[in-house]
Amino acid sequence: MTTIQTISIFPSFELSRQTITHHDGKVFEYYLLSNGLGRAQNPPYQSDVFVVANHTDKGWVLGISESYPQEWRDVALRHEIAEKYEPNPEHGCDACKRVLLCELLEVGLMCGDDTDRYLAYVTFRLRFFQEVVAYYQVAPRDAITVALLECLIRSRDTLVEHRDMLLARAGLAAG
């Protein structure tokens, strides 16, 4: 089994190189990235919690911040791999939302009867997308970032609906 390698593009922020096995059995390298990377961007990324995945002219990049909760790092990395490593052009702007819905199913299974843990995850992931949306709203605009922002807003809105549904269900159960 060959490992899909990540190139080094943030050498001073790379803490360690690790691997993750994707759902299809492919093994991917990724970097665990130190927190200062976000604030070193121009414009600065306000959150310390981020995931980096991209095709560059030098190769594929995959990384996640050390402040991303450890128990959910693999889920976030698999989201990026599913969405960006072999993107399906047919899905276009729905790719992120489509992967997010699969992610929520996976996390739901991991949480089982622990509905509080699941709600905490959805709330965390919503905040993550809110922060990414806020970043791209102030980042320099080009065709790629405009399209990306639209995708991210769809995912954020999906999480808002999902959280509200969970809260309504919890309210019904409590009442």
Nearer CB in complex with Zn ion: 37/53: 53
Q: How far is the CB of 61 from Zn ion (least distance, A)?
A: 15
Contact between 96 and 43 (Cβ < 8 Å):
no
What torsion do the CA atoms of 99, 91, 48, 33 make, to the nearest 10 degrees? 90
Select the span of 47-55, 64-72, 76-84, 161-169 touching Zn ion (CB under 5 A): 76-84
CA distance 34 to 52: 12
CA distance 144 to 86: 17
Report if residue 82 touches Zn ion, rule: CB under 5 A. no
Q: How far is the CB of 82 from Zn ion (least distance, A)?
A: 8
Q: How far is the CB of 175 from Zn ion (least distance, A)?
A: 35
Nearer CB in complex with Zn ion: 36/69: 69
Contact between 163 and 119 (Cβ < 8 Å):
yes
Q: What residues make contact with Zn ion under the rule CB under 5 A? A: 83, 96
